[in-house]
Amino acid sequence: MTIALAIHGGCGVMSPAGQPEAEWAGARAALAEALRAGWRVLSDGGRALDAVEAAVVVLEDSPHFNAGHGAALNAEGEHELDSSIMDGDGRRAGAVIGVRRVRNPVRAARAVLEGGKAVILAGPAADAFAGSGGLELVDPSFFTIERQRGNLAAMKARGRDGTVGAATEAEKHGTVGAVALDGRGHLAAATSTGGYTNKPAGRVGDSPIPGAGTYAEDGVCAVSGTGQGEAFIRHALAHDVGARIRYRGDALDAAAAGVIADLTPRGTGAGLIALDAAGRVALPFNTGGMYRGWVTPQGEGFVATHGEVFALGRLGA
């Protein structure tokens, strides 16, 4: 049976000159590690749901991305982490909003899905639920890295100077996500984020909202988005990809590119990763770059940040 996997680490302006090449290389290495983690699950006959969780955990643990360790700080200098996961088998979903202590928010989202009593849990109650289920809890300082302290200071200064529009993507926001197709034909998607730097306390974007930032439906597609979350929520963007395939008969490429194209005239920076039931992948974005990686059904892995694509060769189980 066909298996496939794709991941992202956020999109944006992302000028190649915006950080040293060693940083770009480190991010690509983390993307490759996430691909291998998810691919091991699929190659061993595991579930798509387990594969996307495994891949996102790697990205949450990497300081190169805005999710988990390395997440953005809000206007009060605190972390509020959001994540969701969705199983295309029955369209089951779980999500957490504004968690501050669970080390891997995607695991907390998975626990909510498996619990079956709610789709979304928020704030301290979500952290408590994760802890009661045996997930690792950490001090909020675990998520903080010096780069994000600097980004917060820079964004506050831009707010005072009226230059927020000139901020680099590194100063602002980011997201991570994964989509997978397993050997049983099931699709799954997961997304995780720290939001954007200097966001208002309590702000919620698209990442923890099934149908906005995350969507999976067996036989149709799995989607994880990245970009301006408020626009994704208003457009039900991830679900819209599936709707274009299901109701209009669009191919995956056309459906994915179409939803991004609809946002582009509005000046909305956006990107997504998507898989269909045949293992075809689409990774459109309308910004200067997008951290991304994918594995073909033949097991060939690739990662990229801008236009250049780096081949990883055939990934082992």
CA dihedral 106, 107, 111, 113 (to 10 degrees): 30
Q: Is the dihedral of CA 57, 62, 65, 70 positive or negative?
A: positive
Neighbouring CB atoms inside 10 A of 7's CB total 31
Contacts of residue 119, defined as CB under 8 A and 6 or more positions apart, other chains included, come to: 93, 94, 95, 112, 113, 210
Contacts of residue 123, defined as CB under 8 A and 6 or more positions apart, other chains included, come to: 97, 98, 99
Parallel/antiparallel/unpaired status of strands 214-217 and 221-227: antiparallel
Q: Is 163 a catalytic residue?
A: no
- Helices 48-61 and 21-43 pack at an angle, to 10 degrees, of 160
In DSSP terms, 275 is beta-bridged to 222, 281
Catalytic residue among 144, 175, 191, 305: 175
φ/ψ of residue 53, rounded to 5: -65, -45
Name residue, tokens 């700080």: 73
Residue in 87, 307, 306, 79 with CA at minimum distance from that of residue 188: 87
Q: What is the DSSP letter of 165?
A: G
The Cα–Cα gap between 154 and 157 comes to 5
- Active-site residue set: 175
